[in-house]
Amino acid sequence: MSLDAYRIFWILTYFNFLNGKMRTMQTNSSERIEKLETIGVVLRPNAPELREYYLNFKNFLKLKNIKAILDKKSARMIGEHGIDFYEMCKQSDIIISLGGDGTLISAARKSIDFQKPILGVNMGKLGFLTDFKSNELNECIDALLNGDYRIDLRMVIDVEALLSGYKGQFKVINDLVVRHKKAKMVHIKLYVDGILVNNYFGDGLIVSTPTGATGYNLSAGGPIVFPYAKNFIITPICPHSLTQRPIVLPVNFDITLSVGDDDCMALLDGQDSFTLNSHDEIKIGMSKTNAKMIHHKNRNFFKVISEKLHWGD
């Protein structure tokens, strides 16, 4: 074999390996839904117009001998009967969110201790995570009954807040954002395994999961990361110095953020928050718990990115 042929052989071998590796990463769970008798449904807040859509879906499920139950908040919004969210999680085989990515993330965070697979139906505009469209829901249920789906495991961040007289623990699926309450410049120290890596001065700092990389992180100039990777993405928001750039770290590092100002705030997935004052700390690590998301069997991340961001147009 000539030298050129030898090189071509190993290049093709390597790319075949990468292709197989990528396919394995994209389908990263062999978990199946054991039974589908009860589905918990969560509706996008402040959207009473979803009432007719939900009732039609509920009637469709009845024809399939599947029971639909609403959480209390969603039910009150559309004038229907509902039960406590956590009781709904206990009774459900899967959970379906009707809304956008925010509705899906909210439902996933609140239900994570129950480890129920969650399916997002895109009733909004962009929808990176909610890949099922509103007119596909009935077909989607048929696909679930036929086993034509996959369950993806999404990385979750454990957040431990060490505040003055208070210690809190939280879980984050998308991102943790630290910024000032009054839109002032903040000073945040980043420690990795106890070593000071950087002093950030600017509008704030984002610590994102790969799932959240296409959210606030992307808007702030952070990188897109393959969603089944295990990484922390640390992105400064409008830094005072242009040399302060995003960092992608593997999850085996222990990360600590220390704020140098009073009246700061930490936002968890854009939904919950707590106050930070000077010298308060946030410790960040990868959770042992995953968020389970149901997707099309042939969903391809690169096709989704190309479609949503209009790449190649």
pLDDT score recorded for residue 251? 95
- Regarding whether 194 and 126 lie in a shared domain, the answer is no
Domain co-membership, 302 together with 239 = no
In a domain, 28, yes or no: no
Residues 6+ apart with CB under 8 A from 107: 42, 95, 97, 118
Q: Looking at the domain assignment, is residue 26 inside a domain?
A: no
Domain that holds residue 117: 38-154+291-308
Q: Is there a domain that residue 18 lies in?
A: no
- Residues 181-240 have pLDDT tens digits of 998 999 999 999 999 999 999 999 999 999 999 999 999 999 999 999 999 999 999 999
Asked if residue 108 lies in contact with residue 285, where contact means CB atoms within 8 angstroms, the answer is no
In a domain, 7, yes or no: no
**Element (H or E) spanning 158, and its range?**
strand 157-163
Number of domains in the chain: 2
- What is the distance between the alpha carbons of residues 278 and 178, in angstroms, rounded to a whole number? 13
Residue 228 · residue 300 · CB < 8 Å: no
* Catalytic residue check, 175: no
Q: Are residues 150 and 43 in the same domain?
A: yes
Both 169 and 140 in one domain: the answer is no
Give CA separation, 137 vs 119, 132, 281, 303, in Å: 10, 7, 44, 21
- Is 163 part of a structural domain of the chain? yes
Catalytic residue among 71, 101, 152, 280: 101
pTM of the model: 0.87
Residues 269 and 297 in one domain: no
Q: Identify the CA nearest to 94 among candidates 133, 149, 139.
A: 149
Q: What are the pLDDT digits (tens) for 93-109? A: 999 999 989 999 999 99
Does 25 fall in a domain?
no
- 236-291 pLDDT, tens digit per residue, is 999 998 889 999 999 999 999 999 998 999 999 999 999 999 999 999 999 999 99
The answer to whether residues 178 and 272 belong to one domain is yes
* Same domain for 256 and 146: no
Which amino acid, residue 269?
D
17 part of a folded domain: no
Contacts of 258 (CB under 8 A, 6+ apart): 188, 189, 191, 279, 280, 281
Both 62 and 131 in a single domain? yes
